[in-house]
Amino acid sequence: MRNAAVLGALLIASLASAQTIQNHPFISAEQSNAIANEWTRPMEPFKILDNLYYVGSQNIASHLFTTPQGHILLDTGMPAMHQAVKGNIEKLGFKLSDVKIMISSHAHIDHVGGHAEMKKATGAQVMALGEDARALELGKDLSPVEYLGWTPVKVDRVLKDGDSVSLGGVTLRAVWTPGHTPGATTWVTTLVDGGRSYNMVFPGGAVPNPGPPVVGNANHPTLADDTLSTFRKLRELNPDIQLPGHPGPLFMGNLDGLRSGLRPHPLLVPAGEWIKGIDAQEAAFRKRMEADAARLSTR
């Protein structure tokens, strides 16, 4: 079973792909190569449970919620993943034209880089929260790490904290969890499978990526407080299953069970592990804050 350290790590939406980060001061060549070689590798789609399907790559998530009135797509991945995500939707027997709504976990290129092309292909309405909506329309990364941008895409509905997105009997609630990006969004919904209800949580990222200071950041002066507020919000959630934007470690060893419909569900969160994971991440973040504050005090 997964331990607290693994669950904590899964709360961090990690780095973008190599093509966006070469020569970036915060990212090593080794990290770039690992991302390029593994994270965007195509993956066969599969049903997670109920009407929820995985249509992403090896370690960059894209999720499809299907309904009789059309479908909701959560995240589109890197621009280079566009054909694979489209192909995965069609392999499952669904029509691209039935994708009516596109939402996102957060505005980094490895999660929204395919939005513009997917909007062209489907005609779907794009919905995003706050500053991430602005980032999508600008085609610019507004997070502390400031990666390269993407093709701008029109946002049809700007969401606020607590807003719901509904279609065909599926309702997802947007929880504003800033820090990783200014408008990072944790999505929450309930799905029913085999007579059991599952509280589903799709984390939007818990902390800023490594590199930029989190205390005394001139471009993001509330960054530390925003991130601490995210930990408080995440503690209020009680997921039966959590599906992060980079699910490779979570899927490892579980794919056969997922594809075969094994029950109990292979991704069930063990009792108490969600809170342990958040506690571990907050402790690490507070050490980062202390280190930044110490550097400021010596200037």
Q: Decide: 162 and 145 in contact? Cβ < 8 Å.
A: no
Kindly tell me the sign of the dihedral angle through the C-alpha atoms of 259, 9, 64, 166. positive
Predicted model pTM: 0.91
**HSE-CB for 116 with a 13 A CA cutoff:** 17
Give which of 243, 234, 233, 228 is closest to 277, Cα–Cα: 234
pLDDT at residue 93, rounded to an integer: 98
pLDDT at residue 37, rounded to an integer: 62
**pLDDT values of the chain reduced to their tens digit, one per residue, 299 residues:** 443 333 434 433 333 333 333 334 444 555 555 565 679 999 999 999 999 999 999 999 999 999 999 999 999 999 999 999 999 999 999 999 999 999 999 999 999 999 999 999 999 999 999 999 999 999 999 999 998 899 999 999 999 999 999 999 999 999 999 999 999 999 999 999 999 999 999 999 999 999 999 999 999 999 999 999 999 999 999 999 999 999 999 999 999 999 999 999 999 999 999 999 999 999 999 999 999 999 988 86
Task: Pull the structure tokens for residue 299.
Answer: 């200037």
pLDDT at residue 30, rounded to an integer: 59
Residue type, 155: V
- First-to-last alpha carbon distance for the chain, in angstroms, is 46
Question: Whole-angstrom Cα distance, residue 51 to residue 239?
Answer: 18
* Count of Cβ atoms closer than 10 Å to residue 18 Cβ: 19
Domains assigned to the chain: 4-297 (3.60.15.10)
pLDDT at residue 229, rounded to an integer: 98
108: which residues sit within 8 A by CB, 6+ positions away? 13, 16, 141, 143, 147, 180, 181
